[in-house]
Structures are given as structure tokens and as C-alpha cells.
Amino acid sequence: MKAFQFVEWQRPGELREVPIPEPGPGEVLIKVGGAGACHSDLHLLEAPAGPMALPFTLGHENAGWVEEMGSGTTGFARGDAVVVYGPWGCGLCMNCRRGMENYCQTPGRPSPGGLGGNDGGMAEYLLVPSTRFLIPLGDLDPRDAAPLTDAGLTSYHAVKRSAHLLGPGSTAVVIGAGGLGQMAIQVLRALCDATTVVAVDTSADKLEIATSMGADVALVSGEDAVRRIRDITGGLGAELVLDLVGIAPTLAMAAEVSRVLGHLTIVGLGNASLPVSFHGPALECSVAAPFWGSIPELIEVISLARSGKIEMKVEHFSLDQAAHAYELLHHGKIRGRAVITPHG
């Protein structure tokens, strides 16, 4: 089968011919409907080197149809539409038993397919290690639903952990209105409708999309945005600041618009650091860098999508066009999420 693989550090991915995997006991083979192209893949492809062995197939945002169940598996049948939970854990430690396999505590846990060395979904078929990681999609199309598993789930988790701060009169700032940011804005609308949502981006196009998705205010990134957010919040700053970029200027902006007792949440992997001391961010503002989300949260994300409350703006590409899709993402030319659809 054809697979789009990460072959060499600091080189674009490559389309290669690989064998179709065979599901062993407990495993499931998925016919891939869609595999989203996340900005994290670009960070990885552009990194000087890393701990994982190459090559492996990219694609950690996956959805499709059950193709073949390995021996001993039950609960699903051939043709069922499913999304695949990405951060595979051991299933047995305390965090995994709570459904938080993103925070599996077992050393040597399996790496997520498409990110850490195991093969991902940018191929005709994807091997999933357990039915634990499959969530039924109902009538949603896997080609459109794939990004819910990361852009959707990561944003959902990052918003939900701060939802108690976001009542009437509150403000939430979303820095970076790309794939994750557009989801975060819609999740804020769905879970915390009373809050004022401020979107910040460098691209006028993204700001227009952010507004169409429910942002109350859309601001071009920079010093002016800081002044505007201070005005909107009466000089106090925002209850939640979500930085979905994570570079030095966005972290500095996030610190400047944070509020006493607020949350400053760093999701973007821009690789800069934020100094935290008595002098900033605001007093008793909690700073956290969450990774992905839990299985129960993914079930909630799918429910929100099925009820039409959140919807990813997707652009479909064939496997042959995968390198081109990443190039567009690199240049900020993907309006929502690029999804690779190996079967058309």
C-alpha cells in the first residue's frame, strides 16, 4: 500500500510503498478515511533530530472504517465508522484507567501512531493496538471527522479545564486561529457562551474565519492587541489566555494579558520559554502546558460535532498531494485543516 512517511530529519515526508499490516491478537486494522496534517508534524519534520527511529508513517489525527478485527477483539464490526484516539497508553496505570492515556505513567509506553515512531494514518490502512482507542462516529464522515481527534480534542481539553473561570463578564483569549484555534473558539462558544472570546492572529484571513466561528473580537497579533485586550477587560486581563503558537512574542503577549488568578495555557510547540516569577505573569495565574486530551473527552468532542456545535473547516488532499499539503501548511495557506484522504 502507499504510505506518506517521515524518512529523514529536516527533509519533507515521502510517499513510499509498504506492506499492509496484519492485525495480531487484540489489534484492529482501519481503512483510513482521513488523516489530518497537524502543525506538530511540521515541528517534527523540521527538527534537527529526535529520539525516534525513522522511517514511520505520518498522521496522528485519524478516522476511517473498521477493516479487520484481530483475534479476541469484540464490540466493532467491519465497515463501522470510527475515530482513533491518538495518545496510546498502557491501559493499566492509574491515569490510563481514568481514560487519560495522554498522561500514561508507564515507562516505555507505546508511542502515538504517526508521531513517535509507530506508523500513523497517512496510508491506505492503519494498525490500531486496541479497540480502547476506537470511538464510533455515527453518521459523521471520517474524511471530515479526523481532525476532531487532535485539533478538536486538544483544544477541548485546554478549554474545559478552565471552564469554571469563564462565566458572564469573563474574557478568553485565543492566540493562533489555525486548526486548533478555530476549534478552541467553537468549543468556548459551546461550553462557555457567556464569555467574551478574543481571537489573535497575524493573518487577516484567519481572523475573518475566527469571527465567523464565534469570536467576539478579532485582533492582529502585536502590541496593539495587548492594549485592546487590556481595554476590553478594564485593565485586569483575561481569565483564560490560550497560546496556540508558543513562540517568544506570543508568550510575552500571553503574560501581558493574563489576569490575577487566571489561567495561561501553552499548547503551541513554538519552543520558546516563558519566565514565571513573582513579577509576571499576573499574581497567582496558573501556567500549564497540556498535551492532547482523554478518551472520555474525545467522546464528548464527537458528541459536540454530531450535534453540529463544532465543525472543522477541512481541505481534502490525496496521498500523492500530502507533501504539497504540508508545504501549504508551512506557508500558512491552509485555512482550517488539511486532511489526507487515501481512498478518495
Give me the residues that bind ligand NAD (CB under 6 A), please.
Answer: 38-40, 43, 150, 154, 175-181, 200-203, 206, 221, 244-247, 249-250, 267-270, 291-292, 329, 332
Angle 243-158-51 from CA coordinates, rounded to 5°:
75
What single letter denotes the amino acid at residue 101? E
* Distances in whole angstroms, Cα of residue 27 to Cα of each of 67, 192, 343: 11, 38, 22
Q: Which does 201 bind (CB under 5 to 8 A by kind): ligand NAD, Zn ion, none?
A: ligand NAD
**Does position 93 bind Zn ion by CB under 5 A?**
yes
267 or 304: whose CB is closer to ligand NAD? 267
Minimum CB separation of residue 237 from Zn ion in Å reads 29
Q: How many helices (H) and strands (E) does the chain have?
A: 10, 16
- 52 is written with which cell numbers? 525516534
Q: Which does 106 bind (CB under 5 to 8 A by kind): Zn ion, ligand NAD, none?
A: Zn ion
Q: Which does 90 bind (CB under 5 to 8 A by kind): ligand NAD, Zn ion, none?
A: Zn ion
84 or 180: whose CB is closer to ligand NAD? 180
DSSP string, 186-218: HHHHHH-TTSEEEEEES-HHHHHHHHHTT-SEE
66 or 143: whose CB is closer to ligand NAD? 143
Q: Which does 211 bind (CB under 5 to 8 A by kind): Zn ion, ligand NAD, none?
A: none
Residue nearest to ligand NAD (CB): 178
Q: Which residues pair with 69 in a beta bridge?
A: 28
**Does position 150 bind Zn ion by CB under 5 A?**
yes
82 or 242: whose CB is closer to ligand NAD? 242
**Does position 96 bind Zn ion by CB under 5 A?**
yes
- 39 is written with which cell numbers? 502543525
Residues 6+ apart with CB under 8 A from 200: 173, 174, 175, 176, 177, 218, 219, 220, 221, 225, 253
**Does position 188 bind Zn ion by CB under 5 A?**
no
**Does position 104 bind Zn ion by CB under 5 A?**
yes
